[in-house]
Amino acid sequence: MPKIQPFLWFDSQAEEAAEFYVSLFPNSKILSTHRSGPEGAVLTVTFELDGQMVTCLNGGPMFPQTEAFSFSIDCADQAEVDRYWAALTADGGTESQCGWCKDRFGLSWQVVPKQLFETIGGPDAAGRERATAAMMQMVKLDVAKLQAAYAG
């Protein structure tokens, strides 16, 4: 069975990005760093994010990151949402809408509490509509507000 792994293109920050990502997530580590050229510049960095293998390439400025690709983080609670959100938006990261943000390297992330799907996917149709409407007004997702909207 083939393994599918994300391969991310960076201008020149592959090593810095990989080190940042493995510092955020449990069970993560750098697996290898390949260098090229006479100065030994980093070409690729392969790492694991909680068991998911990822490779970053320093490929130059031709293909910047876009929202067309993102990583989604399944968070257990608001504290986890807050922790990841703060880390990812720090030092030049940017907030977007509905739990989306970009880190300082331009990579998009969805920071999602498990309670989101319990509210926007709950059995009460009116509650789902209220929770969805509340989510659409949020930048960082707020568990208490989602649950309050669902409850009416």
Q: What is the pLDDT along the chain (152 residues), one digit of tens a residue?
A: 678 999 999 999 999 999 999 999 999 999 999 999 878 999 999 999 999 999 999 999 999 999 999 999 999 999 999 999 999 999 999 999 999 999 999 999 999 999 999 999 999 999 999 999 999 999 999 999 999 999 99
Helix axes 143-151, 78-89, angle to 10 degrees: 130
Structure-block tokens of residue 120: 């926007």
Q: CA dist 25 to 51, 83, 122, 123, Å?
A: 10, 11, 29, 32
Q: Which of 94, 76, 83 is nearest to 24 (CA)?
A: 83
**Distance in angstroms (rounded) separating the CA atoms of residues 17 and 46:** 11
CA 109 to chain centre: 3
Q: What are the strands of the beta sheet with 70-75, ordered from one edge?
A: 70-75, 108-113, 100-102, 94-95
In the numeric block, the tokens 């509210």 are attached to 119
Return the bridge partners of 102, or none.
94, 108
For the chain, the domains span 1-63, 65-152
CATH topology of domain 1-63: 2,3-Dihydroxybiphenyl 1,2-Dioxygenase; domain 1 (3.10.180)
Domains 1-63 and 65-152 share a fold: yes
**Distance in angstroms (rounded) separating the CA atoms of residues 13 and 128:** 41
Whole-model pTM? 0.93
Geometric angle at alpha carbon 78, from 134 and 124, rounded to 5°: 40
Q: What is the CATH number of domain 65-152?
A: 3.10.180.10
